[in-house]
Amino acid sequence: AQRVTQPEKLLSVFKGAPVELKCNYSYSGSPELFWYVQYSRQRLQLLLRHISRESIKGFTADLNKGETSFHLKKPFAQEEDSAMYYCALSIQGAQKLVFGQGTRLTINP
Amino acid sequence: EAGVTQSPTHLIKTRGQQATLRCSPISGHTSVYWYQQALGLGLQFLLWYDEGEERNRGNFPPRFSGRQFPNYSSELNVNALELEDSALYLCASSSYRPYEQYFGPGTRLTVT
């Protein structure tokens, strides 16, 4: 079965500290993973995808197939990073996204 | 570029009634997805429509149904409402890259 697990519902760090939001997945096919973000009073939006190996707003995420993980990282957190973050797995052929439960990140000043 | 729009913003129904939720995708997008975000359950995939056809559905009972119109807008219908149907219903649209889904603001359905 396809599953995405985000073990932390809440994560709180201080401004300037490193951030790591954990994501683990279970999928028998070739995984395509994404991070979506929802800022306060805004819509859910795509943050980054593993295929592009890009850095968006200072965030990066590396797909580790051995550990079936796709953790989101940022070396120095900023207050505007406070948001709800969802890890998502794209199911080939079914064209649907399987989302994790989400992690609410709070950056303290 | 106008984003995905959904109506109504809020909907209050009583148990047993029917609810109809509407979604207009981004211009040029042919695929529409529906998700349910219930408290504590995260985002659950409901339905995918493309080119007017239902292409895939999630693990929801048949009383959750919908359709896509020729202009690619979509309706989600929930029949015989139950209390546990209370949730935020999100619509998303995409073009040829299904993972790059653009979400609407959602419709908050409350069943009393």
- Residues A85-104: tens digit of each pLDDT: 999 998 877 678 899 999 99
For tokens 């995939």, name the residue: B45
CB within 8 A of A23, min separation 6: which ones? Answer: A4, A5, A6, A33, A35, A61, A69, A70, A71, A72, A87, A100
* pLDDT score of B5: 97
- Above 70 in pLDDT, residue B6? yes
Band (pLDDT 50/70/90 cuts) for residue B1 is low
Residues of B in contact with A49 (CB under 8 A): 99-100
Is beta strand B107-111 parallel, antiparallel or unpaired with respect to B87-94? antiparallel
* pLDDT score of B40: 75
* pLDDT score of A47: 93
- Above 80 in pLDDT, residue B96? no
What does the alpha-carbon distance between residue B112 and residue A35 come to, in Å, rounded to a whole number? 34
- Residues A9-50: tens digit of each pLDDT: 999 999 999 999 999 999 988 888 999 999 998 999 999 988
- Residues B33-72: tens digit of each pLDDT: 999 999 877 889 999 999 999 999 999 999 999 999 999 9
**Closest CB from A86, A90, A95 relative to B55:** A95
* pLDDT score of B98: 66
Q: Does A95 touch chain B (CB under 8 A)?
A: yes
From chain A residues 24-43, the ones with a CB under 8 A of any chain B CB are 32, 34, 43
